Amino acid sequence: MSYREDLRLKLYHMNDFITKLNKDLSSRLQDIDLEEPDLIRKTQKSIRCTKDALTQLRAFTIQHTFCNDAEEILFFKKIKPELFSKLIYYVKILNIESRRPVGNREIQKTYLQQELEKLTFFFNNHLEFYQYYRMNSTYLDDKYFIRGKEDLNLYQDTLMSYIDPDFSTSHDYMVSKIIANDRLKVFLSIEIEALSIKAVK
């Protein structure tokens, strides 16, 4: 087998695995969403199946040899964060809902608005990387998204690249948090709006 054919086969194998993994996870999450009316129990079940998918992705990644730097960057900048962000999102929802006050609507609104402010603080606190990611910049990708290439002079928000160096880079966790927080912002805004509508009625 030629080198080019070997690369093509490896790329197909990874794409095929990830497509199936994402499809199966989406199906399981959709079933949970339809079958479980209680938000906390729904979130707990979603966490369990997302963790299972992430475990499968980690096992695959450790066995897989990336064809080149571009493929590894794509994986840790796009593919892993899309999945990992789901776990972060569900864990945050569980934490927020389990601590949500049982008082009147105004107390709940204040609580949820404070959670919304935490997201604003996160984005402001990581503005430089947030802008880098949002503008689809690439000039630091080899430092941010290749294992073992982290630059200690560049800010890191996690120790995962040291704890689990085979499945983490210095900034894939940060991308996952950005995606999760974007989704969480929508959730919180909808919840606050729902409380406002109920208050008017």
Q: How many domains does the chain have?
A: 1
Could you tell me which of 189, 156, 196 has the C-alpha nearest to residue 173? 156
pLDDT tens digits along 75-131:
999 999 999 999 999 999 999 999 999 878 899 999 999 999 999 999 999 899 999
Enter the pTM of the model: 0.89
The proportion of the chain whose per-residue pLDDT surpasses 90, expressed as a percent, equals: 72
Mean pLDDT of 14-42: 94
What is the C-alpha end-to-end distance of the chain, expressed in Å? Answer: 70
DSSP 21-59: HHHHHHHHHHHHHHH---HHHHHHHHHHHHHHHHHHHHH
pLDDT tens digits along 77-93:
999 999 999 999 999 99
Structure-token pair, residue 42: 């729904």
Q: How many Å apart are CA 155 and CA 4, to the nearest integer?
A: 37
Structure-token pair, residue 124: 């402001």
Task: Quote the domain boundaries for residue 195.
Answer: 3-200
Q: How many Å apart are CA 117 and CA 6, to the nearest integer?
A: 49
In the block, tokens 């949002």 appear at 134
